[in-house]
Amino acid sequence: MLFRPQGELAGWLGRMRPLAGSGLVLYHKSWNYFANRFNLKIVAELEPLPGIPPSPAHLAGVVQAAKAQDAKAILIEPFYPVKPAEFVA
């Protein structure tokens, strides 16, 4: 049986609606479903390939993409290094 907490989802949808279409930077491709659910646009990923830390050149490209597409947030799981995200922020 599938359980869907409609009340909680409706709350999230209401809170996220003003951000629909906003740019988003990810550390890893693990936030795709979240972005799709709330109509967020993934503009760049800090990790160039799974398991490969970002190089300075790659981070420079992420900064350019984030600025060009007006990214509003960076999503990173707590077990990834935070320094690349802080640099881009």
Mean pLDDT of the chain: 89
Structural element, H or E, at residue 75: strand 71-75
Question: Does pLDDT of 27 surpass 60?
Answer: yes
Query: Alpha helices of the chain — where are they, by DSSP H?
Result: 6-16, 32-37, 56-68, 83-88
Q: Which pLDDT belongs to residue 15?
A: 86
Which domains occur in the chain, in start order? Answer: 20-88 (3.40.50.1980)
- The confidence band for 7, taking pLDDT boundaries of 50, 70 and 90, is low
